[in-house]
Amino acid sequence: MSAELAQGLHHEGAATRSRSASLRTRLVLALGPATVLAGVGWSLVQPWRLTILHPYHQGFWWLVSEPPLYVVVVGIVFRLVVAPALAADLDRRS
């Protein structure tokens, strides 16, 4: 009887670990989209930072070099390049 109880507890512990690992994995995968949303929110809260909206007398690099756009690009690159490797590593550790 105690062996069955120990085996049941072992399975419950493994399920808890896999749920927490999947939560960590989901959090890592959510960092990219959250960063993109932060960049979009930043551009909505401070639209004067986007000189693309009023490009008069601005050079090319001034129009391309937009901090909120950099935040959006970093979020996309993180989600597509960095996060899958981190998620795989987290899944492998569990």
* pLDDT tens, residue by residue, 41-70: 999 998 887 777 667 777 777 777 888 889
pLDDT at 78: 97
pTM, to two decimals: 0.70
Tell me the C-alpha distance between 19 and 12, whole Å: 11
The confidence score (pLDDT) of residue 26 equals 92
Helix locations, 46-94, DSSP H: 60-64, 67-77, 83-93
- Give SS3 for 61: helix
If one counts the domains in the chain, the total is: 1
CA proximity to 36, closest of 71, 64, 82: 71
**44 is in which domain, residue-wise?**
2-93
37 within 8 A of 68, measured Cβ to Cβ = no
Checking if the pLDDT of 17 tops 60, the result is no
Residue 29, pLDDT > 70, answer yes
| Average model confidence (pLDDT) across the chain | 81
